[in-house]
A and B are shown apart, each in its own frame.
Chain A
Amino acid sequence: MIELQNVNKVYRTKTIETTALNDINLSVPAGEFLSIMGPSGCGKSTLLNIIGLLDEPSNGSVNIAGTSVTSYNGKKIASFRNEKLGFIFQSFHLIPDLSVVDNVELPLLYRKVGSKQRRMMAEAALESVGLKNRMSHYPNQLSGGQKQRVAIARAIVGNPDIILADEPTGNLDSVMGNEVMDILTGLNSNNNTTIVMVTHDENMAKKTHKLMRLYDGAQVK
């Protein structure tokens, strides 16, 4: 489902060159739940951004869901992301001016889905994370755990093949963190959704199928 070959990411300024990722090779089959661990600044998020097509590698090839996306232009990448990928962020990134259900509808907005259909799909996604009763609330009226569940609903509403989660439990206490983790493992086992999760938490990583460790931008074998 996800194939990375010889991926490097180098940030260049006038005076300094920083290697964020060094020769990463990665293969994640469909339905796998992979966690990525490593100290701060080791390139975890950069790697996730490259898998999520939010960032481009300096060199190397990226193949997602059987498509080599290296040659895609901005618009094509946007629609590819919209259909194939779902994102969950550590700090939720909900839009404060939109209600919970409008936040969840967001990916469908760029998919030309009719408004009734959008509402139906968003309700279903919210129901699956147990937040149907909070539909018309606004993000600032929710707890951290609830916010992250809304973010999960938003990530799954478009039925993507892959979910990319960047420290989804990082801002949550252990109870809420476990709740979120349960939803993710449920998604993985019930829907066969491929999940790549960056985490700092060994306990969370243990619940996934496979663990990848990064150190200074390189894979720890």
Chain B
Amino acid sequence: MLTNYLKLAIRVLGRNKFFTAITLFGISFTLAIMMLIISMMETEVGSTQPLSQKDKMILLPNLTLQKQFYDTIYTFDTLLINEVVTIDSTYKLEEAGSNNSNNQFAWSYLDKHLSDISSAKSYSFFNMGNSFNAYVNNSKVEMKAVYTDHRFWEVFDFNFREGFGFSESSVEQQEKVAVITTKLAENYFGKTTGILDEYIEMDGNSFKVMGVIDPPGVSLLATDIIVPHTLQNTVGRSEEIGFGGYMAVFLAEEESGMQKIRDEIAVVNSGLTVHPDVQEYYNEVRLPAFSYFEIYADSILSLDDDDTRGRSLGVLKWIMFGLLSFFILLPTLNLINLNVSRIMERSSEIGVRKAFGASQSNILGQFLIENIVQTILGGLLGMGLALLMIRMINNAGLLGDIVLKVNYKFYLYSLVICLIFGLLSGLLPAYRMSKLHVVNALKQTKS
């Protein structure tokens, strides 16, 4: 029976080639866009290198100092009691305003307070967002630098093309060594291999290349060159307060261990006091801790407020869900329409099939299979289109530091989306047709 249906599905597609071409174009284009979204999501929030362990990460992006002011609010009322005017007053304490200061951490602050979180398998402190320029053969090469420790390589699993990450002793001895991306290698040296032990100039220093990695390709880890943090010396007044340019990341043994890390950080937090120099303005220290996904959601939605940051993930999920539903629903409705008119032409066939013993579920199954065949065909075309678009986007660097990835999950999710699309767009027309009364079906068309 299935072979029969498949044979028929192919034959039906070939019957009206123009119509089929239009339908397939619509399906493939829709699915290509959805596959592109999948690839983006998989790249940014999927478990890919160097963030394979992202679902076990707790990040501390900043230190928050704050103080809330309260005001006494008086309310006066006049009352007439026994024909005498009396004044009645009430008051309440209301939040009148707050001082808030958010900044990344100073290395020393992190080292002092957060280097002893025992439930973490590993941890790393790193400073991002340093941009330097170098001039090679009269052209400017821009590099985004990360200053960090030797554990950075444990937390983030970079794919080393050659060499390796710097060690603890390299960091302690302030060795001028660097790990660079293939992108920087290409721009700086004009090649991506055989550059170990070569020197690269940055910020007035000459660093020896000891490792070459694939570009991280995710927005949260945008970097070209990674060097020991001990080479950065910017101690100032803000450093004493705790402010600097560093973030902390803690890695749990298992996903279930993340709460333990959060709890331990909360204990540390409770013992922290505001530096005496700024106690005039602040009276509370907070160490907001987030999962990678929460941080990611927040970086997209830019809800910077600490209270909303944890909620961003939920909001982002709804937005993504809404967008995907929207993208899937509109073309589905369109396809349903096309399918209904197309199947209506075949009402005589439905009548005959029913007359000769086809049950409602037989008819439903037949048209669903036909629709899924059509969608999978469109999906294959769409996949080709999506792969082409991904290649073009990556080659042109349209998404900045993000390099779209294609892995087995991309294919898996794409297949699932094809099936959902096929089922959704086929179910309603197939159901309508399967309900068609046999006598009416036979009356409608003649062949």
A81, B362: Cα distance in complex, Å: 15
Within 8 A of A (CB), among B340-364: 348-349, 351-360, 362
A49, B446: Cα distance in complex, Å: 17
Query: Are B352 and A98 in touch, CB under 8 angstroms?
Result: no
A residues bordering B, Cβ < 8 Å? 49, 52, 54-55, 74-75, 78-79, 81-83, 87, 89, 91-98, 102, 105-107, 109-111, 115, 139, 154, 158
Query: Are A82 and B357 in touch, CB under 8 angstroms?
Result: yes
A176, B48: Cα distance in complex, Å: 72
9 CB-based A-B contacts, threshold 8 Å: A49-B439, A54-B439, A74-B360, A93-B442, A94-B447, A98-B8, A98-B11, A139-B447, A154-B356
Query: Are A110 and B358 in touch, CB under 8 angstroms?
Result: yes
Does any Cβ of A come within 8 Å of B138's Cβ? no
A95 touching B355 in the complex, CB below 8 Å, given contacts A54-B438, A102-B4, A109-B1: no
Smallest CB gap from B443: residue in A: A45
Query: Are A97 and B355 in touch, CB under 8 angstroms?
Result: no
> Of B15, B349, B357, B446, which is within 8 A of A78 by CB?
B357
**Chain B residues positioned under 8 Å from A87 (CB to CB):** 352, 355-356
Smallest CB gap from B13: residue in A: A97
A94, B362: Cα distance in complex, Å: 18
Q: Count CB-based A-B contacts (< 8 Å).
A: 77
Least CB distance from A50 to B in Å reads 10
Does any Cβ of A come within 8 Å of B12's Cβ? yes
How many residues on the B side are at the interface (Cβ–Cβ under 8 A)?
26
Q: Which one of B12, B360, B439 has the greatest number of beta carbons of chain A within 10 Å?
A: B439
> Of B355, B359, B447, which is within 8 A of A54 by CB?
B355
Query: Are B359 and A96 in touch, CB under 8 angstroms?
Result: no
Within 8 A of A (CB), among B378-397: none
Least CB distance from A172 to B in Å reads 14
Does any Cβ of A come within 8 Å of B234's Cβ? no
Does any Cβ of A come within 8 Å of B3's Cβ? yes
B residues bordering A, Cβ < 8 Å? 1, 3-4, 7-8, 11-12, 15, 348-349, 351-360, 362, 438-439, 442, 446-447
Query: Are B446 and A93 in touch, CB under 8 angstroms?
Result: yes
Query: Are A78 and B358 in touch, CB under 8 angstroms?
Result: yes
Closest 6 CB pairs of A and B: A82-B357, A91-B446, A110-B357, A107-B356, A97-B11, A78-B359
**Chain B residues positioned under 8 Å from A98 (CB to CB):** 8, 11
Query: Are B446 and A111 in touch, CB under 8 angstroms?
Result: no
**Chain B residues positioned under 8 Å from A109 (CB to CB):** 1, 4, 358
Query: Are B447 and A93 in touch, CB under 8 angstroms?
Result: yes
A107 touching B12 in the complex, CB below 8 Å, given contacts A93-B442, A93-B447, A115-B3: no
**Extra A-B contacts (4), CB below 8 Å, given A55-B438, A91-B447, A102-B7:** A54-B438, A55-B439, A106-B353, A111-B357
A184, B7: Cα distance in complex, Å: 32
**Chain A residues positioned under 8 Å from B447 (CB to CB):** 91-96, 139
> Of A75, A94, A97, which is within 8 A of B15 by CB?
A97
Query: Are B352 and A110 in touch, CB under 8 angstroms?
Result: no
A189, B230: Cα distance in complex, Å: 105
Smallest CB gap from A49: residue in B: B439
Query: Are B358 and A93 in touch, CB under 8 angstroms?
Result: no
**Chain B residues positioned under 8 Å from A107 (CB to CB):** 356-357
**Chain B residues positioned under 8 Å from A111 (CB to CB):** 357
